[in-house]
């Protein structure tokens, strides 16, 4: 699928008027404003995984406080994953109709209400209900945030911006257990939820005062309503939209491959970090929740470094492809080359090394080397994930929010199933063996990336689900 040249990336004086007009779409905001918008959506991307991550270390305390058991309270995690996946589809479709800003102005108050409801819950049923509200409030942070980056950054800048965005989002689950562990050990689980509510309220205010509407002019459904109105006023009209409609995008074979490749990457992160209390905690006699939470930080630091680096490298691959194949070529798959090294070497090898260390190397040396493995794994996960996400936005730019929501929703559902098998796997076959199986999936993800790079253009020709052409990128 090699579209005719019309890319907004070229600065040649011979560009057509159409190309110049499309270039202007990305020049609506100054560099300073773009950075402010990126900072806001990156901050909002921390909240979804932070909200769920802060809950996990406090499960025993919540169970005791509400006269329940850990298994029942853990249902809140599964409910949050389901509601977040469903909510991301709702947020995506309505952000395309009413605008990106509207999605945040609805979502962040829901996060505030949900967090406060959880903090003051006196029964398990009440807590579970407010956990659902909380998850709905956070659900748009990833899908709509990725769409905003596609709105304001052109193709050769998009990977770098997406890297910063994902670096922030994955720092959330690394920081959350530390905060949650502190709350469980030194204060109260209710206090951590209360503070999360305050932060979400402040985030809502920031979005209200500083986040402009970033949707491309004329692209929102509500603008058609305004255009059909005979009045100069801009009337509000509620429209019922089908959030599952965007799932038709998943007919695309390349998108399904990207879901699998990204799942293999994120699963590697979860296999190392989710059972930390049962692996690192038991092997090295660490029982303080705060210290166990601190062990997540190397992975978060790795995420923060890996995502921007990978995004920048993916932009370089796009620029090189344009020079290599000519200005009339459209090879978005070249962006995926930035993920190949990480998917084939540090991602699986860090899993194998950590499993070996936990099994055979005791004491401070084993613990220190494990933390190094977490750091390397954190870098590798985001080096793989960032180009994949940017690629999905590249090939379906006019459906950027929907494609982000679809891929993350399906990945989250599959990830919840995979996560449920981690601890049983460790108990039945061992840490090293479980990590080895996950490393095998990492190598499968690498093969999927290779196939997509080589056959992606042909696969996009099989079934057109609204793919972007070069002049629309």
In this prediction, residue 164 carries a pLDDT of 86
Read off the tokens for 33.
């404003």
Interatomic CA distance for residues 294 and 277, integer angstroms = 12
Is the model's pLDDT at 253 over the cut of 60? yes
In this prediction, residue 5 carries a pLDDT of 32
pLDDT band, residue 205 (cuts 50/70/90): very high
Please state which of the ranges 124-128, 131-135, 329-333 shows the lowest mean pLDDT. 329-333
Residues 6+ apart with CB under 8 A from 270: 415, 418, 419, 422
**329-309-137 Cα angle (round to 5):** 95
Interatomic CA distance for residues 24 and 42, integer angstroms = 24
Does residue 355 or residue 68 have the better pLDDT?
355
**CA-derived radius of gyration, the chain:** 22
Question: Highest mean pLDDT range out of 45-54, 225-234, 309-318, 439-448?
Answer: 439-448
Is the model's pLDDT at 450 over the cut of 50? yes
Is the model's pLDDT at 128 over the cut of 80? yes
In this prediction, residue 20 carries a pLDDT of 42
In this prediction, residue 440 carries a pLDDT of 95
Interatomic CA distance for residues 128 and 118, integer angstroms = 8
In this prediction, residue 348 carries a pLDDT of 96
Residues in the chain: 473
Is the model's pLDDT at 67 over the cut of 80? yes
Interatomic CA distance for residues 72 and 68, integer angstroms = 7
In this prediction, residue 9 carries a pLDDT of 35
Q: What are the tens digits of pLDDT across the range 329-340?
A: 678 899 999 999
DSSP string of 266-306?
Answer: HHHHHHHHTTHHHHHHHHTT---HHHHHHTTHHHHHHHHHH
Question: Highest mean pLDDT range out of 32-36, 42-46, 293-297?
Answer: 32-36
Counting residues of the chain whose pLDDT is more than 90, the rounded percentage is: 33
The sign one gets for the Cα dihedral 147, 153, 158, 164 is: negative
pLDDT band, residue 12 (cuts 50/70/90): very low
Question: Whole-number mean pLDDT of the chain?
Answer: 83
pLDDT band, residue 163 (cuts 50/70/90): confident
pLDDT band, residue 10 (cuts 50/70/90): very low
Read off the tokens for 170.
């994955």
Is the model's pLDDT at 315 over the cut of 50? yes
Give CA separation, 472 vs 30, 146, 264, in Å. 21, 17, 30
Compute how many other C-beta atoms are within 10 angstroms of the C-beta atom of residue 243. Answer: 18
Residues 6+ apart with CB under 8 A from 109: 137, 200, 201, 204
Give CA separation, 191 vs 116, 174, 295, in Å. 10, 19, 22
Pick the CATH number of 25-227+246-472 from 1.10.8.10, 3.30.9.10, 3.10.450.50, 1.20.1250.20: 1.20.1250.20
Read off the tokens for 92.
């995506």
The sign one gets for the Cα dihedral 325, 328, 331, 335 is: positive
Q: What are the tens digits of pLDDT across the range 336-353?
A: 999 999 999 999 999 999
For residues 461 and 249, is the Cβ–Cβ distance under 8 A? no
In this prediction, residue 19 carries a pLDDT of 39
For residues 434 and 364, is the Cβ–Cβ distance under 8 A? no
Establish how many alpha carbons lie within 13 A of residue 37's alpha carbon, considering only the half-sphere containing its beta carbon: 26
Cα 17 → chain centroid = 36
The domains of the chain are located at 25-227+246-472
Is the model's pLDDT at 18 over the cut of 50? no
Locus of tokens 């052109």: 154
Compute how many other C-beta atoms are within 10 angstroms of the C-beta atom of residue 16. Answer: 11
Taking residues 125-149, what's their average pLDDT? Answer: 88
In this prediction, residue 294 carries a pLDDT of 80
pLDDT band, residue 4 (cuts 50/70/90): very low
Is the model's pLDDT at 264 over the cut of 80? yes
In this prediction, residue 398 carries a pLDDT of 80
Taking residues 51-80, what's their average pLDDT? Answer: 77
pLDDT band, residue 360 (cuts 50/70/90): very high
Burial class (CB in 10 A: 0-12, 13-18, 19+), 226: middle
Locus of tokens 């806001």: 40
Taking residues 90-109, what's their average pLDDT? Answer: 90
């Amino acid at each position: 699928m090699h579209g005719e040249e019309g890319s907004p990336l070229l600065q040649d004086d011979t560009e057509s008027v159409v190309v110049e007009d499309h270039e202007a779409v990305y020049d609506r905001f100054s560099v300073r404003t773009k950075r402010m918008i990126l900072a806001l959506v990156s901050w909002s991307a921390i909240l979804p995984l932070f909200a769920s991550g802060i809950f996990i270390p406090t499960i025993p305390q919540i169970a005791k406080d509400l006269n329940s058991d850990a298994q029942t309270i853990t249902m809140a995690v599964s409910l949050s994953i389901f509601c977040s996946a469903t909510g991301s589809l709702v947020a995506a479709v309505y952000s395309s109709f009413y605008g990106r800003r509207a999605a945040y102005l609805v979502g962040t108050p829901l996060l505030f209400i949900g967090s406060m409801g959880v903090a003051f819950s006196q029964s398990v049923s009440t807590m579970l209900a407010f956990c659902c509200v909380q998850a709905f409030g956070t659900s748009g942070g990833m899908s709509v945030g990725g769409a905003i980056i596609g709105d304001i950054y052109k193709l050769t800048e998009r990977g770098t911006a997406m890297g910063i965005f994902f670096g922030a989002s994955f720092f959330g689950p690394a920081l959350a257990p530390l905060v949650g562990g502190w709350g469980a050990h030194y204060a109260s689980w209710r206090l951590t939820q209360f503070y999360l509510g305050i932060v979400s309220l402040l985030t809502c205010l920031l979005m209200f005062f500083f986040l402009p509407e970033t949707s491309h002019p004329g692209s929102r459904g509500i603008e058609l309503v305004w255009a059909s109105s005979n009045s100069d006023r801009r009337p509000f009209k509620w429209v019922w939209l089908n959030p599952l409609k965007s799932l038709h995008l998943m007919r695309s074979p390349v998108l399904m491959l990207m879901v699998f490749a990204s799942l293999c990457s994120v699963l590697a992160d979860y296999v190392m970090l989710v059972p930390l209390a049962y692996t690192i905690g038991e092997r090295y006699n660490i029982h303080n929740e705060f210290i166990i939470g601190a062990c997540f930080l190397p992975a978060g630091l790795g995420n923060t470094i890996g995502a921007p680096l990978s995004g920048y490298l993916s932009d370089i691959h796009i620029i090189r492809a344009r020079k290599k194949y000519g200005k009339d070529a459209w090879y978005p798959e070249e962006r995926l080359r930035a993920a190949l090294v990480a998917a084939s070497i540090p991602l699986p090898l860090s899993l194998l090394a950590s499993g070996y260390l936990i099994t055979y190397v005791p004491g401070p040396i084993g613990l220190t080397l494990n933390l190094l493995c977490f750091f390397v794994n954190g870098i590798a996960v985001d080096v793989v994930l960032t180009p994949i996400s940017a690629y999905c936005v590249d090939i379906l730019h006019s459906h950027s929010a929907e494609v982000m929501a679809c891929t993350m929703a399906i990945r989250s559902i599959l990830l919840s199933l995979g996560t449920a098998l981690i601890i049983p796997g460790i108990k039945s076959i061992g840490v090293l063996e479980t990590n080895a199986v996950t490393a095998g999936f990492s190598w499968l993800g690498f093969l999927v990336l290779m196939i997509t790079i080589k056959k992606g253009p042909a696969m996009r020709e099989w079934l057109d689900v609204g793919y972007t052409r070069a002049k629309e990128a």
